[in-house]
Amino acid sequence: MPEIINMPRLSDTMEEGVVSKWLVRVGDKISEGDILAEIETDKATMEFESFHEGTLLHIGINEGETAAVDTLLAIIGDEGEDITELLSPSKGPIQLDLVDQINETTSSFEKEIKEDFKQETENNSFQIVTMPRLSDTMEEGTVSSWLVSVGDKVSEGDILAEIETDKATMEFESFFEGVLLYIGIKEGETAKVDSLLAIIGDPNSNYQKVIDNFEIQEPSTENPDLILKENPFEEKFSEELEPEKISEFDHNERIFISPLAKKIAFEKNIDLTNIKGSGDNGRIIKEDVQNYSEKEPSLKVESKNVSSSKIISLSESYDDIDNSQMRKAIARRLTESKFTAPHYYLSVEFQMDNAIAFRKQYNSIPETKISFNDIVVKACAIALKKHPNVNSQWFDDKIRLNHHIHIGVAVGVPDGLVVPVVKFADSKTIPEIGGLIKDYALKAREKKLSLDEMQGSTFTISNLGMFGIQEFTSIINQPNSAILSVGSIIKKPIVHEDKVVIGNTMKLTLACDHRTVDGVTGSLFLETLKGYIENPVTMLV
């Protein structure tokens, strides 16, 4: 019998996933434990392995495609096995398979519920609507108000209710069409996520058994004044049938008001807290607002003072930009680095007067031009030779001290960031380093960097000084153990030989992985680096 594999839930907040890469193809033999695909969740890209053996018969989600959790991902079975019926949309095999795959340890009570759901799903007679998870931290929700009543016809996209979460009160819309048959959580009641909220479907369907068996959380608060009217034949043409609750920021109590009354109050600029409602349970109705308006003319906005043509309608707007593969990779790698490597930071201010003079003299040589960044790269390469722990890499059972020095230089590109690598930087001259970095930067912007030119770094430098950034910290580019952040050169008063003079300074900040680089080790590295940069001629010795 073929095994259906659905999009897995790989994190507690995952609602959908992207197949970044398939590692197998249709027709391949699959063993238990084989990696089928790499799946990108809301937190990371993770490998997804098979729990079945057989032949890969079908792929339901192609590379780069996004699908909701439990969507058909693949089918594994015997070679040549007929899966036509499973792929037929009229049979609904994928949904039924979710019900059939009940864990054997599930209680008989839970099995009975799932069998009822399976039977009704097959008949397409009704749909169960549960309390939705409207925020990533939501555990329970309160139904603030129902916008439909039992017996109402509901279309896909109609707003069913307003639900208060731990963060806000949000409208909840229907994903189904039919008649509202049952309401499980009344206004003012609180229930856990996935509790039975409502049932939508054919009025002739038999859904009572599902209601009886469905586990519904008892409401944590009771409000007898907010009893939902469930009579489908009740008159619904009154403007006051659907009271609206408004939570005012400056008051602890809620205001009950009809939509029309609210509209009139808004147009007349009336403070609702000053109005006493005459409707049921103190609800404010149209007459209350009109009567208050007549008594308090000073609160009304005079039309002669405000021209409607001068009223500017403002609305929020945004653009959704699909994340590129580069942006996803940056997010994934930097997040992993920040939360796996224990970062700490060391900052030092360097005197740059000698370096400025050195660069000026060096650039006076025909056909030679170096930057301060080139000087920093060369100085780091020599300093790393003396401090191999900073040029190291962490493994769970060992620390690798790299003898070669490959320095990555962060380069900004329109899509994000790349880090080309100056390999064996300690053996190169400053002009050679500068020429390589310029070449890499051009290739990066033209998207022509090769994989070999972007991998293998043992240390990384990020320079934002050209943008006027005086000081910043960076996230370690793993598997490196450290990254150096280079700020801008600024003129300021400094003390030199007991005198206050104007000097040029630059701040550098070293981010270290505390698993491999202790505070003293990082400090000694910066001390050595300071010596080379403040006296760059020593790098030529």
Active site residues: 514, 518
48 to 17, 43, 59, 305, 378: CA distances (angstroms): 12, 15, 14, 66, 43
193 CB burial (10 A radius; 0-12, 13-18, 19+): middle
**What are the φ and ψ backbone dihedral angles of 78, each rounded to 5 degrees?**
-80, 145
The residue among 455, 464, 443 whose CA lies nearest residue 373 is 464
DSSP 5-26: EE----STT--EEEEEEESS-T
The residue assigned the tokens 């050209």 is 466
Cα 441 to Cα 169, 411, 418, distances in angstroms: 49, 6, 9
Contact 187, 223 (CB under 8 A): yes
- Among candidate residues 409, 388, 426, 418, the one with its CA nearest the CA of residue 460: 409
Please provide residue 232's backbone torsions phi and psi, each rounded to the nearest 5 degrees: -65, -15
Q: Are 272 and 249 in contact (CB under 8 A)?
A: no
Residue 373 is encoded by which pair of tokens? 């960044």
SS3 content of the chain, % helix, strand, coil (to 5): 30, 30, 45
Distance set, CA 175 to CA 1, 91, 158, 172, 181 (Å): 33, 20, 8, 10, 15
Identify the DSSP state of 382.
Answer: H
- Name the DSSP letter for residue 296: -
Q: Is the dihedral of CA 398, 401, 406, 409 positive or negative?
A: positive
